[in-house]
Chain A
Amino acid sequence: MNIISDTWYITMRDLRSRIRMPVFIFMTLFQPILWLVLFTQIFKSLGGLPGLGSSSYLQFFAPGVLVMTVLFGSAFSGFGMLWDMDTGVLSKMLATPVTRISVIAGRVIATVVVLLIQALIIIILALILGVHFETGVPGVLFAFLLLSLLGLGFAAFSNGLALLLKRQENVMAVTNLLTMPLMFLSSLMMPAALLPGWLNTVRQINPIDYAVVGARDLISNGYIWHDLWLCFVVLAALAVVGVTFGTLMFRARAE
């Protein structure tokens, strides 16, 4: 099957080039440390707050770090596509018999793989720092499934955006315009119970919040199935929308 082998080669090409960038490896390791160690120190005194629902701010915030990492990592996935467009790599590939859809699929899959590795690093670090994982390994795997759907949706969307807007400045502007409010309009940094009423309403139509709720349930609260089921459906829908958008934009580009 050419579609599978082509996707495989393009995924491997993407992963290989990332691994060879020392700055990239450094950032991958450094960012989780920054959030888990430094950021949670700033809000340490929130630990005893009623309504936090967790024993410490670190315990509360660790699932948020996973979601944030996946959100930003995937939302900037399209910059690799922009680079390939600007340098002529994309045109050159499309002039070969390569399976069209593998060119975007490989890049999106590589993004998700890298994000899951990053998530694993965060989890190991969180364990060392004393975060308690309520549902153990199966729960973490379930959280990985939810994070993969989130990453898939946003990475495909970001690649579609790159193909649509073509210019780095524009893609950067739209990406920031989208990701920052999505992060703030959720219970990522503050529990829903402590959010102002309007924000608590808005967060319920924010797909990011479903990733946060799902990950937090699995790590801190246990299998709360009525939550988790909804989170899965919303994130799966997000993935379908993102992949559809990315595919359509790619088809338009590849004619």
Chain B
Amino acid sequence: MAIIETHQLTKVFPGDIRAVDGIDFEIKEGEIFAFLGPNGAGKTTTIKMLNTLILPTSGSAMVTGLDVVKNAAEVRKRIGYVAQDVGVDEHATGKENLTLYGHFYRLDGKTIKERVKEIFDLVGLSGDENRMVSTYSGGMRKRLDLAMGLIHQPQVIFMDEPTTGLDPQTRASIWEYIRNLVKSKGMTIFLTTHYMEEADRLADRIAIIDLGKIIAMGTADELKKSIGGDVVTVTPCEDKDEACKEFIRRSEALLTGKPFVTGMKPTDGELAVYVNDGASAIPSIMQLLSGQGIEVKTITMSRPSLDDVFLKYTGKTIRAQEGTRTSFAQLMRMRDRRQR
């Protein structure tokens, strides 16, 4: 059963800015679903329509079987919201912050007490309940923020860029809490992110969104498979100047139509070549290019990442801090091993 469902959901802001442009998707109960896209793609606008903070211009959305416009008040009781900004009160303790939200969600005093204890355990803040939030670290605030969206045990929780601005270690721990939630409470999670790694590691399914439109949707594996076996990245120049553009254009022309190439995307100073088997394609690429006087400065091979998926569908990159690219030396060793 779909717990979130949208039909041609659209938001147009004054000045004819189509922030969200007719999107359709369904999320199943208990799923972690990620909206992946660069800043300004329409991720936050989508979340704010689903959690009743803004009204759609057209189209419709159902959350837990209820229309977000017609049944806004009822929807609010069933969902939790963790915004990009940590909306916690500095001049209150963690417990006071959480208790206030317990009241907003119409929980009785006894239930609030129990939940506060339980949730502080869950997000690893036990022992810090009675400290002022102004003394909390960034990671602790984010965890409290998370807790405030959970106190009423919502069926769905919306998280807008849950780890933006946090250090890698804290980010990993937040992911752990999010996974625990799904496991222990069976919650459905809708999150937005511009971190490839976050979508890759956390989400059951991913929708890639750019300029207000969903351009691809599926599991991380499905998305990666959709662009073929390996990505070979060729850098024919050191400076990103006109000559470089010319080299890349010529390289692309040379490789076009070659049987081992399944696709190509030129970017700033690089050419991404999608191939079925990178290790065997590299010598052919090197040979072809150097035969035409194009000196390859570096050549690397990687498994397709979501970055490549994004590049293929949008023609742009969201540079991810992923360390999956393999150096040329490693590549040669891999080939040797394969041949043996």
Contacts and interface: CB of A to CB of B under 8 A. Distances in A.
B52 interface: yes
Contacts of B48: 91
Contacts of A89: 87-89
A155 B1 CA distance: 48
Nearest to A18: B91
Nearest to B73: A97
B87 A21 contact: no
A105 to B, nearest CB: 14
B148 interface: yes
Contact of A17 (B51, B73, B89, B105): B89
Interface stretch (A5-13, A107-115, A136-144, A146-154): A5-13
A9 B89 contact: no
Interface of B, helix, strand, loop or mixed by DSSP:
loop
A91 B87 CA distance: 8
Given A13-B89, A16-B92, A17-B89, A92 B81 contact: yes
B91 A5 contact: no
A97 B103 contact: no
B129 interface: no
Contacts of B100: 9, 13
Interface in B88-107: 88-92, 96, 100-101, 103-106
A89 B105 CA distance: 16
B281 to A, nearest CB: 48
A97 B105 CA distance: 6
Contacts of B91: 16-17, 20-21
B106 A97 contact: yes
Interface in A68-95: 87-95
| Size band of the interface chain B makes with A | 20 to 34
Interface string B98-122: 0011011110000000000000000
B199 interface: no
Nearest to A17: B91
Contacts of A6: 103-104
A91 B104 contact: no
| Size band of the interface chain A makes with B | 20 to 34
Contacts of B105: 96-97
B83 A88 contact: yes
A166 B316 CA distance: 34
A45 interface: no
B246 interface: no
B238 interface: no
B76 interface: yes
B48 to A, nearest CB: 8
Contacts of A90: 87
**Most chain B CB neighbours (cut-off 10 Å) among A6, A13, A16, A91:** A91
A96 B101 contact: yes
Contact of B55 (A5, A91, A255): A255
Contact of A95 (B79, B84, B92): B79
B155 to A, nearest CB: 14
A255 B52 CA distance: 9
B254 interface: no
B9 to A, nearest CB: 16
Contacts of A17: 89-92
Interface in B68-86: 73, 76-77, 79, 81, 83-86
B92 A93 contact: no
A64 to B, nearest CB: 32
B92 A5 contact: no
Contact of A88 (B73, B76, B87, B101): B87
B106 A2 contact: yes
A93 B87 CA distance: 9
A18 to B, nearest CB: 8
Contacts of B145: 92
A98 interface: yes
B96 A16 contact: yes
B53 interface: yes
Given A91-B83, A95-B51, A95-B53, 5 more contacts: A9-B103, A88-B85, A91-B53, A96-B81, A98-B104
11 contacts: A6-B103, A16-B96, A17-B91, A87-B87, A88-B84, A88-B87, A91-B81, A91-B83, A95-B52, A95-B81, A96-B105
